[in-house]
Amino acid sequence: MTLTPAELQSYLSALVTGNLKLSTMIWGPPGVGKSSVVAQVAAAHGLDFVDVRLSQLAPTDLRGLPVPEADGQGGGVSRWYPPEFLPRGGHGVLFLDEVNMAPPTMQGMAQQLILDRRVGSYELPEGWFVWAAGNRKEDRASVFDMPAPLANRFLHLGVRPDFDSWRSYALGKGLHEHVIAFLTFRPELLHRLDPTQPAWPSPRAWEMAAQLHRAGLDAAPAVGEAAGAEFAAFVRLYEGLPDLGLVLRGQGAGLRLPAEPSVRYAAVVGLAARAADADEAYHAFTWLADAAGPEWLQLYVATLVSKFQATGHLGDLAGLLSRDERLAALVAGTLELAGG
């Protein structure tokens, strides 16, 4: 079962809502956002979140250390003192990341925790979910085969890169509009695994690239030379954009939208990313309605809807519907396609 990040988020949320304590394994390529989705689901449901990287642990790190205790009869026993990072109470998600990068001895130790919800003298509290993640062999990751008994303890979900899911995340996080606009123009570069290079495009890498770009640094160390060069060339196109601030303030009369498609992507996504409220969003829409065709209006509305949904400003979105029948129809169509 292969899902987009948004679909994975919905699936995991349903497990939480249904209180289904079924151990769940999430498979996917590096950098696609597996751990981010799990953390977001935990936060959305008010759950604690403990991220354990199994590949970085030794068996005693998970099982704990044996400590001798006197039994009061002249003898003694050894008791296992569990590590401090394992939860003692409450409700949350215990996330076992990089499961299949861990050596077989560690996977065997994890199997006891996954199957019996205990390891050594430690027992996982009732209110905790056990979810895990790992990379696939085809992703050229340094992984070990997962033993069949361990694999059979899990639900198995795959996650794949998806631009619409990433765009919603990026808008909600306030990533640099240049990165969002570039990947709207070149969505095939959202994830392009190149095991021969140390840096290559992935959702995680583009988030790092956005931070570098905001600081005035080259994005290539995050996404690789080829994607970095394309992104740098795209950024230079912004010099040919009309003043988007004037458009958002309703003062765009007389400004022209350049005909070059890549520049139009930059302008349309830039307007949606910068619109701070319903008034600015409406001014941009009316300007684009006169300056561009319906496909550009659809792109603008789709980006705007993703942004307002991701940032929780649904009131601004609702306030737009009564202003223009065309805008209302486009918003309704976008929400219907998105399933919401």
Interval 173-223: pLDDT, tens: 999 999 999 999 999 999 998 878 899 999 999 999 999 999 999 999 999
Q: Are 284 and 314 in contact (CB under 8 A)?
A: no
Q: In one letter, which amino acid is 310?
A: A
Residues 165-172, mean pLDDT to the nearest whole number: 92
Decide: pTM greater than 0.75: yes
Distance CA 134, CA 54 (A): 10
Distance CA 113, CA 86 (A): 11
Specify the pLDDT at position 182.
95
Specify the pLDDT at position 103.
80
Confidence band for 305, pLDDT divided at 50, 70 and 90:
confident
The residues, ordered by sequence, that sit 6+ positions from 148 with a Cβ below 8 Å of its Cβ are none
The stretches of 53-125 forming alpha helices (DSSP H) are 59-63, 104-116
Per DSSP bridges, beta strands 65-70 and 76-81 are antiparallel
Confidence band for 314, pLDDT divided at 50, 70 and 90:
low
pLDDT above 70: percentage of residues in the chain: 92
Of 13-22, 28-37, 105-114, 258-267, the one with minimum mean pLDDT is 105-114
Of 38-47, 141-150, 234-243, the one with minimum mean pLDDT is 141-150
Describe the chain by its helix, strand, coil percentages, rounded to 5: 55, 15, 35
With a cut of 60, say whether residue 340 has pLDDT above it: no
Of 156-160, 263-267, 331-335, the one with minimum mean pLDDT is 331-335
Interval 319-337: pLDDT, tens: 677 777 777 777 777 666 5
Of 128-132, 199-203, 214-218, 306-310, the one with minimum mean pLDDT is 306-310
Alpha carbons within 13 A on the beta-carbon side of 229:
2
Of 19-23, 64-68, 285-289, the one with minimum mean pLDDT is 64-68
